[in-house]
Amino acid sequence: MTITDPNPTTATALEPVAVDLYRDIHKGIRAELFAATESAGRLDPVDRAGRADLAHRVDDIVELLVSHAHHEDEHIQPALEQHLPARAEQIAADHERIDGRLEVLVELARTTDGDPRLRVHQLYLELASFTAAYLEHQDLEERIVMPALEGAVGIDACLAMNQAVVGSIPPEEMARSLALMLPAMNIDDRSELLGGMQAGAPAEVFEQVWGLTRSVLTADDVAGLAHRLGRS
């Protein structure tokens, strides 16, 4: 993975942006990678059903990451290639390396040969190592690429890219992504995301989204969000 500074002594200052193409989905991805890694660390190696469940979870994560990279490559990468070619090259190289590691994760999760304890521990370590590398990739996109991209193309172009990404996601995939994203987001993130949907989507569509939101958040989180959205 590309690392902008392998030995930082101070945190890289975060330049605020009006449109963040990465923040919300990245929060969901981080939460799911952390949860899967923790699950692998706790798993009883002789629990066949538990190992099968973890393999399915790894499959789902891989599907999510492949789809996420595809949306970036289709709707964001062309702008990077035109305006920030060096960053575009970094992102493309990262995506290629990520694809290779995803194949390893799937193979480890699905294998049934050898000592179960060793296999589960190997999968745990690979999930932890992959997560560490993927976090570096996300950090590059959020702290370096996103401010540079908005500075190069402007807010309206970033809004158009965001709309293109959202518009290209099938409803079932969007529901799965929201189920991961919303619990990982803070109330400001949720209010901004759902407030935009409430204002722009048909009422019946938003009610479906609101039902999903209520199913994945705590009662207190739902109450706070409802107040922000004027639903209380």
**Domain containing 164 — which CATH number?**
1.20.120.520
Is residue 1 very low, low, confident or very high in pLDDT (cuts 50, 70, 90)?
A: very low
Residue 54, judged by CB atoms within 10 A of its CB (0-12, 13-18, 19+), counts as: buried
What is the overall mean pLDDT for the chain? 94
Is residue 10 very low, low, confident or very high in pLDDT (cuts 50, 70, 90)?
A: low
Choosing from 169, 200, 224, the residue where a domain stops is 169
> Tokens representing 101?
């590691």
Is residue 124 very low, low, confident or very high in pLDDT (cuts 50, 70, 90)?
A: very high
Give me the number of domains the chain comprises.
2
Task: Answer yes or no: is pLDDT of 12 > 90.
Answer: no
- What number of other Cβ atoms are within 10 A of residue 118's Cβ? 10
Mean pLDDT of 15-30: 97
Residues 108 and 62 in one domain: yes
pLDDT computed for residue 13 by the predictor = 76
* Residue 45 near residue 117, CB atoms below 8 Å: yes
- What number of other Cβ atoms are within 10 A of residue 192's Cβ? 14
**Residue 117 Cα distances to 111, 114, 121, 127, angstroms:** 12, 9, 6, 15
d(C-alpha 111, C-alpha 97), whole Å: 22
Task: Answer yes or no: is pLDDT of 225 > 90.
Answer: yes
pLDDT computed for residue 9 by the predictor = 56
Task: Answer yes or no: is pLDDT of 4 > 70.
Answer: no
Q: List, for residues 42-72, the tens digit of each pLDDT value.
A: 999 999 999 999 999 999 999 999 999 999 9
Terminal CA-CA length for the chain:
46
- What number of other Cβ atoms are within 10 A of residue 39's Cβ? 16
Q: Which amino acid is at 12?
A: T
Task: Answer yes or no: is pLDDT of 94 > 90.
Answer: yes
pLDDT computed for residue 11 by the predictor = 66
**Rounded percentage of the chain residues whose pLDDT exceeds 90:** 90
pLDDT computed for residue 3 by the predictor = 46
Residues 105 and 197 in one domain: no
Residues 33 and 123 in one domain: yes
Task: Answer yes or no: is pLDDT of 35 > 60.
Answer: yes
Print the domain residue range for 27.
23-169
pLDDT computed for residue 20 by the predictor = 97
* Residue 25 near residue 138, CB atoms below 8 Å: no
pTM reported for the whole predicted model: 0.92
Residues 69 and 132 in one domain: yes
Choosing from 120, 140, 169, the residue where a domain stops is 169
Residues 133 and 46 in one domain: yes
Q: Note whether residue 128 is domain-resident.
A: yes
Q: List, for residues 165-223, the tens digit of each pLDDT value.
A: 999 999 999 999 999 999 999 999 999 999 999 998 899 999 999 999 999 999 999 99
Is residue 147 very low, low, confident or very high in pLDDT (cuts 50, 70, 90)?
A: very high
